[in-house]
């Protein structure tokens, strides 16, 4: 009975941790949307600087996206790998 409870607690902890780590996708989405909006404003004001604004925006979006990717990878690891590691030690 206690072993089953320990497995349930491990699975619940991994599920909660995975859910919390996937919240990391909210920040990059908001940040990238804001950056693209400001880039469109800048291009609208000065169309001749389109190339430099676009390249800077794409670089910033790529860097901001890494946060979401790290959270996604952590969520996958917590859902798929961590329960087997912890339960295997019981």
Question: DSSP characters for 61-83?
Answer: HHHHHHHHHHHHHHHHHHHHTHH
Cβ neighbourhood burial of 5 (10 Å; 0-12, 13-18, 19+): exposed
Structure confidence by residue, pLDDT tens digits, 44-59: 999 999 999 999 999 9
Strand positions, DSSP E, the chain? none
- Residue 39 makes CB contacts below 8 A (sequence gap 6+) with 53, 54, 56, 57
Cβ neighbourhood burial of 9 (10 Å; 0-12, 13-18, 19+): exposed
Q: What is the pTM of this model?
A: 0.72
Q: What's phi and psi for 17, nearest 5 deg?
A: -60, -40
Structure confidence by residue, pLDDT tens digits, 64-90: 889 889 999 999 998 888 888 888 776
């Amino acid at each position: 009975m206690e072993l089953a409870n320990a497995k349930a607690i491990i699975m619940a902890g991994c599920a909660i941790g995975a859910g919390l780590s996937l919240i990391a996708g909210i920040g990059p989405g908001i940040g990238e949307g804001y950056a693209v909006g400001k880039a469109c404003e800048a291009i609208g004001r000065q169309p001749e600087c389109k190339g430099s604004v676009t390249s800077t925006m794409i670089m910033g979006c790529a860097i901001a996206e890494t946060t979401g990717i790290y959270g996604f990878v952590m969520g996958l690891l917590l859902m798929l790998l961590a329960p087997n590691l912890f339960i295997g030690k019981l």
